[in-house]
Amino acid sequence: MTTSQFHLPDVGEGLTEAEIVSWKVAPGDTIEINQVIVEIETAKSLVELPSPFAGTVEGLLVDEGTTVDVGTAIIAVTATDGQEAPPPPPVVDHHLPPAAPAVAAAADLTATQTLASTAEKVARDEEKPGAVLVGYGIKGQVASRRTGRAGARAAVPAIGEAPEAKRPTQRLARIHQPIPGVPVIAKPPIRKLAKDLGVDLNEVTPTGVIGDITRDDVIRHADQAKVFHNIETPQWAPVREERIPVKGVRKQIAKAMVASAFTAPHVSVFVDVDATRTMEYVKRLKTSPDFAGVKVSPLLIMAKAIIWAVRRNPMVNSAFTEKEIIVRNYVNLGVAAATPRGLIVPNVKDAHDLSMLRLAESLEKLTLTAREGRTSPADMADGTITVTNIGVFGMDTGTPILNPGEVAIVALGTIKQKPWVVDGEVRPRFVTTIGASFDHRVVDGDVASRFVADVASIIEEPALLLD
């Protein structure tokens, strides 16, 4: 019997260490290849690591709560039946469900295993050389990894399915029904989301293409309003005090906010705006066939307004250094996202080049990825200006702190009906407050005021975007 050690991999985020959050196995357990064995936390996200070996867990080499460097041995596995532990399998993306349990939902397990082998072979052929186990993060391979796996799935239909053009709807519905005794199919981020929302995946009806559970399935099953708006009041905790270690995302947030607040002299401005026409525009977009299946909200119009205003006031899209001010003639639009693990600010790259539809898709993808804990450092790097939608929490306005490396951040307050004077008459209108903070080393009062006024003019009349 051969004992092999699994070393903490570089999960493709360019980080040097991670914390062991929780072990999913114990000494003496029998595990399979790609079975999730541990959950780790980097400075940016939670990641579930699958095993590259099949066999018996000899020992857990690192305790939960311990932070270790990349390359540290964390678990020992003894191969069963006197066989040597297999080498790490070719490309297994942890954002996708494992091949074997995924196709198992098609009911004919023998045939589906053959299908999985075929798909795996396609992915393996496309990846040579450089195939690695999930988590090793070879740079430059991410795009091909997804393309290879997606191509393999597209090339081979699931058992019992007709080709895409001829596949009967009834058959798909039958395949997607939960099968007793068959494990649910859900990506690790979806499992994490379900855990955060208190959802039992065994009770969720899947709607994914291969019978997998999607994020929307989890949200539909959960009472999202109850989760995020704190409708229920919990009991007092049994202990008088709790001590929460400052680490991971919270540690990074603290460093960034202190650096920003005590480095850049903040100045804030505010303006109330009649957003009635924005609300009408959003309503029209929601009913447009072009936006079918895409989330449309006032934040989309706000994002477009900021991009338009940046073009007219480029200094708000700059960066300050001790030697120079760098004016950036492109917009990587940051979106402050509240997640169960803290505030993060991923950004839409080259947002100025995107159409309304593409920007809506990018914002939705960015938000879903953040809530699922899958935002990568690359998604949060190189932002140029940020928008924060505090209106979703019922807040009218605020004084947001600048994202480090930027000189402007815009806050969109709640949009609600208020009495508003129109042509000398008081009428009910949808009104919001736009607030913004600036680095006064770069942005003077007149520039800040003109920029916010430009943003407000778009919220008041979105037709200006057609100019």
Higher per-residue confidence, 181 vs 195:
195
Contact 427, 419 (CB under 8 A): yes
Neighbours of 246 (CB within 10 A): 10
What is residue 15's predicted lDDT score, i.e. its pLDDT? 67
Tokens of 378: 């690359």
Domain-located, residue 61: no
What is residue 422's predicted lDDT score, i.e. its pLDDT? 92
Domain-located, residue 92: no
CATH of the domain at 195: 4.10.320.10
Which tens digit of pLDDT belongs to each residue from 344-386? 899 999 999 999 999 999 999 998 888 777 788 888 899 999 9
Same domain, 324 and 360: yes
CATH of the domain at 366: 3.30.559.10
Same domain, 186 and 329: no
Q: How many domains does the chain have?
A: 2
Whether pLDDT at 129 is above 70: no
Whether pLDDT at 142 is above 50: no
What is residue 153's predicted lDDT score, i.e. its pLDDT? 38
Percentage of residues in the chain with pLDDT exceeding 90? 40
Neighbours of 270 (CB within 10 A): 15
| Burial class for 351, CB neighbours closer than 10 Å (0-12, 13-18, 19+) | buried
Unique residue bearing structure tokens 């796996």: 149
> CA nearest 410: which of 462, 455, 463?
455
What is residue 53's predicted lDDT score, i.e. its pLDDT? 83
Domain-located, residue 350: yes
Distances in Å between the Cα of 273 and the Cα atoms of 280, 414, 435, 438, 449 are: 15, 11, 11, 20, 14
Higher per-residue confidence, 343 vs 432:
432
Same domain, 323 and 433: yes
- Average pLDDT rounded to a whole number, residues 259-283: 94
Neighbours of 67 (CB within 10 A): 14
What is residue 464's predicted lDDT score, i.e. its pLDDT? 92
Whether pLDDT at 191 is above 70: yes
What is residue 44's predicted lDDT score, i.e. its pLDDT? 60
- Collapsing DSSP to helix, strand or coil, 167 comes out as coil
The domain boundary residue, chosen from 201, 233, 265:
233
Higher per-residue confidence, 154 vs 363:
363
Same domain, 273 and 404: yes
Whether pLDDT at 19 is above 60: yes
pLDDT band at 159 (very low <50, low <70, confident <90, very high): very low
Alpha-helix runs per DSSP H in 342-467: 356-371, 377-380, 445-460
Same domain, 228 and 306: no
Domain-located, residue 241: no
What is residue 43's predicted lDDT score, i.e. its pLDDT? 65
SS (H, E, C) 52-90: CCCEEEEEECCCCCCEEECCCEEEEEECCCCCCCCCCCC
Domain housing 202: 176-233
Unique residue bearing structure tokens 């605020």: 398
What is residue 281's predicted lDDT score, i.e. its pLDDT? 95
Same domain, 229 and 374: no
pLDDT band at 340 (very low <50, low <70, confident <90, very high): confident
Domain-located, residue 292: yes
Domain-located, residue 256: yes
Whether pLDDT at 106 is above 60: no
Contact 441, 265 (CB under 8 A): yes
Task: Give this prediction's pTM.
Answer: 0.58
The one catalytic residue among 95, 221, 266, 440: 440
Same domain, 191 and 257: no
What is residue 151's predicted lDDT score, i.e. its pLDDT? 43
Same domain, 302 and 430: yes
**Lowest-pLDDT choice from 157-166, 228-237, 259-268, 405-414:** 157-166
pLDDT band at 181 (very low <50, low <70, confident <90, very high): low
Instruction: Report the length, in residues, of the chain.
Output: 467
Tokens of 138: 């070879």
Q: Any catalytic annotation for residue 440?
A: yes
What is residue 197's predicted lDDT score, i.e. its pLDDT? 74
Partner residues linked to 232 by β-bridges: none
Q: What is the mean pLDDT of the chain?
A: 77
Cα angle 9, 148, 360 (rounded to 5 degrees) comes to: 90
Which tens digit of pLDDT belongs to each residue from 232-246? 567 888 988 888 888
d(CA 269, CA 436): 6
What is residue 319's predicted lDDT score, i.e. its pLDDT? 95
SS (H, E, C) 377-428: HHHHCCCCEEEECHHHHCCCCCCCCCCCCCCEEEEECCCEEEEEEECCEEEE
pLDDT band at 135 (very low <50, low <70, confident <90, very high): very low
Higher per-residue confidence, 102 vs 58:
58
Contact 133, 92 (CB under 8 A): yes
Same domain, 259 and 220: no
Same domain, 253 and 228: no
Same domain, 337 and 221: no
- Average pLDDT rounded to a whole number, residues 105-115: 39
Same domain, 277 and 213: no
